[in-house]
């Protein structure tokens, strides 16, 4: 009964904000069109459709607000006119009673609030759709903030998600745009995202990792987490005192170097993505502050680390190569990298993809670099690739959204910011450093113990694999001779050399494109071990 009532609320609100205008009624089957036909007689709404969608989400409450925020992070799916309004969705909602907050904290931490804290402010510092924050002081004298998840939120979220699934299904069934936007997939992404945000222990772990990555850094400061006071629905961390990054007048009053501050935002982004491979993915202005300590050498302060992102090593590499290729206007390489990375199907025509990318990027690059949005170039690039059946890459979409936030913030601080001149040398340096002997040595130190642990098993694995090769019908003459020689069981010294030779042949086959395709799936570590074992056994 409650679910039906909630559904009726959604339908009423949808009509109130004229969300029916999102549906092209003329394209619907007649069986459905006649039901919605009276809506075509209504006057056209005065507000833009993006504004009406934003008001609908706010009217429906916190869960829908968070869903709208998620949509605003999907520039690959959502049209710009909708994103511009969904970006304005605010987190501020009516706080829940302080008594309930105190009871939740006491139950989670297992002690009365007066024993846990020397001082506790019962007036909330901030209230959002997921959690509420109060200030407090530890018995050690440390100023902290106490964050707790709103009670009873999970059942409400599950009910609303079930209804969102229904809305998404109808949107895909009734609208071509609904299908194109993959609304049901977006709802499922939202479910995972919002339940991750309900786990404050996860957020605390993200904050600790980010703080460790920037330890002793003068670029970014992350508040300390007090783990003794952290649970799944409660977390306590250091209270920070800084100027909100959007308060430009206050920053100017303390003589902040705004040009340096803007450039540092870009440097922090690339350092997180390419050096640490762990980036704060919710860097909107409400989560960023500026320290008051060193205005001429400004330092950012980041909070709210519920949403973070990372890339695979392959995505890191291909993204860096894509960016450098765009800098050099090498559209052929951009197209090839999309195919090599698996972002588009193998059968994609390189020439056609290259032409499509050139037609999008070339008009942009005719403008002065400081007028070009780096983030929007990446979005245009991936939107163009979608015409060639490029699958949505969630990790790249998250990165795009973060880059747009950073770039927009940087240009708000310093309008003449040239992100390209900051990013280009950084990417060139990163590519070189990736293959520097120090980097290879670091990889050896990291994975060396695992390799040494597996090394004694290599001869046995090789012998077993060679026995399995006898069952294959399509073998090269070299491997046929090697397996036959093993079957004849010659002397131990000769057999050792034959096994070593076979190992080298297998490793070479795995590294040679188009040769024995089933070997191409071998991990790199296996190829390295085969080569090493073969060389050691052959020449000892």
Helix/strand/coil for 89: coil
- Both structure tokens of 302: 């980041």
What angle separates helix 524-539 from helix 492-511, to the nearest 10 degrees? Answer: 150
Handedness of CA 242, 244, 247, 251 (dihedral sign): positive
Residue 217 CA to residue 330 CA, distance in Å, equals 36
User: What is the secondary structure of 151-169 as a DSSP string?
Assistant: TTHHHHHHHHHHHHHHHHH
β-strand partners of 235: 147
d(CA 388, CA 381): 12
- Which residues, at least 6 apart from 65, have a Cβ–Cβ distance to it below 8 Å? 57, 58, 89, 90, 91, 93, 129
Q: CA–CA separation, 306 vs 200, rounded Å?
A: 8
Least Cα distance to 373 among 420, 421, 325, 423 occurs for 420
Beta bridge partners of 290: 243, 300
Q: What is the C-alpha radius of gyration for the chain, rounded to an integer number of angstroms?
A: 29
Active-site option among 160, 189, 282, 304:
282
Based on the residue annotation, tell me whether 282 is a catalytic residue of this protein. Answer: yes
Alpha carbon distance 111, 99 (integer Å)? 15
Q: Are 120 and 146 in contact (CB under 8 A)?
A: yes
Give me the active site residues, please: 282
């Amino acid at each position: 009964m409650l679910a039906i009532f909630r559904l009726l609320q959604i339908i009423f609100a949808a009509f109130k904000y004229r969300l029916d205008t999102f549906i092209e009624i003329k394209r619907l089957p007649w069986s459905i069109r006649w039901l919605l036909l009276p809506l075509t007689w209504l006057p056209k709404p005065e507000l833009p459709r993006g504004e009406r969608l934003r008001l609908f989400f706010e009217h429906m409450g916190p869960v829908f607000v968070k869903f709208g925020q998620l949509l605003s992070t999907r520039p690959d799916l959502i049209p710009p006119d909708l994103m511009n309004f969904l970006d304005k969705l605010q987190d501020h909602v009516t706080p829940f009673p302080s008594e309930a907050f105190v009871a939740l904290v006491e139950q989670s931490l297992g002690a009365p609030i007066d024993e846990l804290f020397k001082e506790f402010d019962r007036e909330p510092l901030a209230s959002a759709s997921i959690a509420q924050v109060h200030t407090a002081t530890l018995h050690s004298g440390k100023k902290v903030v106490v964050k707790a998840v709103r009670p009873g939120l999970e059942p409400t979220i599950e009910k609303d998600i079930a209804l969102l699934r229904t809305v998404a299904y109808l949107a895909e069934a009734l609208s071509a745009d609904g299908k194109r936007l993959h609304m049901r997939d977006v709802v499922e992404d939202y479910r995972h995202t919002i339940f991750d945000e309900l786990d404050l222990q996860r957020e605390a772990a993200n904050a600790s990792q980010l703080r460790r990555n920037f330890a002793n850094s003068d670029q970014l400061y992350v508040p300390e987490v007090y783990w003794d006071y952290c649970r799944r629905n409660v977390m306590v961390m250091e209270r920070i005192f800084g100027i909100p990054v959007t308060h430009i007048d206050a920053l100017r009053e303390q003589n902040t170097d705004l040009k340096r501050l803007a450039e540092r935002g870009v440097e922090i982004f690339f350092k997180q993505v390419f050096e640490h491979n762990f980036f704060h993915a919710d860097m909107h202005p409400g989560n960023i502050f500026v320290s008051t300590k060193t205005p001429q050498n400004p330092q950012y302060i980041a909070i709210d680390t519920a949403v973070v992102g990372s890339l695979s090593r392959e995505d890191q590499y291909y993204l860096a190569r894509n960016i450098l290729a765009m800098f050099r206007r090498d559209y052929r390489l951009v197209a090839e990298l999309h195919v090599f990375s698996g972002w588009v199907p193998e059968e994609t025509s390189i020439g056609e993809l290259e032409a499509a990318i050139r037609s999008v990027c070339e008009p942009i690059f005719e403008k002065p670099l400081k007028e070009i949005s780096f983030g929007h170039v990446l979005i245009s690039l991936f939107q163009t690739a979608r015409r060639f059946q490029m699958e949505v890459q969630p990790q790249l979409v998250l990165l795009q959204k973060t880059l747009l936030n950073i770039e927009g913030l940087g240009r708000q601080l310093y309008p003449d910011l040239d992100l390209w001149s900051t990013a280009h040398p950084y990417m060139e340096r990163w590519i070189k450093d990736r293959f520097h002997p120090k980097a290879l040595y670091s990889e050896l130190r990291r994975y060396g113990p695992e390799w040494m642990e597996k090394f004694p098993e290599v001869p046995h694995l090789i012998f077993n694999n060679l026995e399995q090769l006898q069952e294959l019908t399509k073998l090269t003459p070299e491997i046929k001779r090697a397996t036959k020689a093993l079957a004849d069981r010659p002397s131990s010294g000769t057999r050792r050399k034959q096994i070593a030779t076979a190992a080298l042949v297998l490793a070479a086959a795995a590294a040679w494109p188009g040769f024995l395709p089933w070997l191409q799936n071998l991990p790199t570590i296996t190829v390295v071990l085969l080569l090493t074992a073969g060389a050691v056994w052959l020449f000892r």
